[in-house]
Structure 1
Amino acid sequence: MVEFKGLPSPDDLLILLTVARLGRFTAVAEALETTHTTISRRITVLDKRLGGRTLARTPQGWELTELGRRAVQAAEGIESSLGSLSARLTNKRESLTGLVRVGASDAFGALFVAPALARLQQDHELLRVELVTATRRLSQNRSGLDLEVVPGTAEAPRIQAVAVTDHVRRLYAGREYIRRRGMPTGVEELAGHSFVGYAESALEVSELAYGRQSVTGEAASFQATSIFPQVEAVRAGAGIGLLPEYVVRGDTGLVPVLHHEIERHVRFWAAARSESMRSPAVRAVVASLIDEARSRQDQLLPRPRVWDGQLE
């Protein structure tokens, strides 16, 4: 039986809402520019006021109890009302407010997520965004992000995932490499070539891997943690690389390799806690990402190229 002791502080309810979205006191403290101890103390005060526990610790971070879920519903109403008030006081039409932290892979984050966020801000001037880029799978232990945009799969406890777009990766080589080593005419000839790929010690997304290991059991001879140095290494002649078309399409320094025989389709997902997915700002970010991807499908899923045999 919950012993209700009076209305809680709206500030404490908003702190609880932020914990529900980010999952870690340290991440909330950073977001609110305070300390872990302060967050813990405010949640304790809130629990005493409501007469029960609002949070439970799990391997995936802090999760809401039934009482916490009811309290968060009230917090979401407060957040919405404050957003409306802020818009009126600044003489702007009602719009999205607050800070949204988004994680994304390096290339997709730079070339698709960043422009989608920038365009969203043009319509919602009070919205602040923070983009963190790294190629990794969805965090199993909450990362302190409101939304993660990840390639491959998006499976983790208590998360919601929305498909953003598919993209295709194909093999490319530098012109100098083909002059030196020759163009493979079939999949079986790849075993005799060098490959550029992700650093195996850091790669978390198996769908992005392709190299000599795929055909001979050996690792790629040139490895990097980001796609951008891989592209430069391929262009410089280090080997053949499985590269995203949206990054290299139209690059005259690269030659298509076996495009009609080998290609890999990888899906990007937008994933977040259910509490984050209910946030109007997060939902708007997801919609903006999908719109950006749909408007540029020709870059994400172009047809295979045919090599014209020219190396000059």
Structure 2
Amino acid sequence: MQIMKKYFLFFAVTAFILSCDKKTDKNSNLKILPDSNGRISTLNVVVDNNLWEGAVGNAIRDSLAKPTEGLPQDEPVFNISHLPPKTFSGFTTKGRNILIAQLGDENQFSMQENVYAKPQKVVFVVGKTESDLIHLIRQNSDKIIDNFKSGDVIETIRRINKSLLSDKSLKDSLGIYLPLPTAYRYATKTKSFFWIRKTIQEGHMNIVTYELPYRDFSNEQDVLNFVIKTRDSIGKERIPGPTDGSYLITEEAYSPFINKDMLDGRTCWETKGTWEVKGDFMAGPYVSYLIDDKTNKRLLVLEGFVFAPSALKRDNVFELESILRSVKFL
């Protein structure tokens, strides 16, 4: 119990000292926080060494460093760095994503923003026992991931907004806005179909968007069947492969992940999976959004896919996902 109280006191005192140590704007009486730092999809975990090396650490790794959905090879949701409590001060408190886990007198779970720096997401998990701590981490793992990922999307778009492609084609034809970086170029541009590409060292990143006649769906499987059928049809018609007669299709060996969500106030279905080129040896991950745009009596498709053989692709897919999730209907 003394050990538990020691660490609980450590974090309480640390939080108090840090809050008092921050500069204050005399005119507004608001804390002036330092800028946060850290790469996209990275997470600093502050937890005692003994907990990290045991079942609690395993629960954190299993929940937050599990394989990312929809990628052809295993890449963790987050790259995790472990920080013992005694090292959590100064520069290490400025990470954008921080999880603090500890033993204490009461079970607690909270998600806070801009605690030590800004922009920043901090998740606090306190358990009376190791079993309680593990339960809280596993029970809230989806919330934790969504919380940190939402901050990563905002940070990605903030960086993208520094250098945007100046083009009104999507606005004029589809009535939408996407924050496209200047590194992207149009591969195909028609009145109703757009294929936008960015060249990277290992290959290329792609965005396609188009509209379809409006229809309803009876269930999730109906949506998934429609998405696959439409992707394969559009791929054959609009996205040729490198050899004659080859074209992009959904890889048949793996069933895509599907999730119902909201984008800019509209219902959508997100699917993640892998694509391949029929008639050639090319493949990679994709993320697709089928948006129920009742207002304009249509379905709108936003999709991103990556070709980067032998390279890690998680961060490429996340950039595409961030752009697509930032769609605005005009």
Greater RCO (CA < 8 Å, at least 6 residues apart): 1
Q: TM-score, normalised by structure 1?
A: 0.25
Structure number with higher strand proportion? 2
Structure number with higher helix proportion? 1
Q: TM-score, normalised by structure 2?
A: 0.24
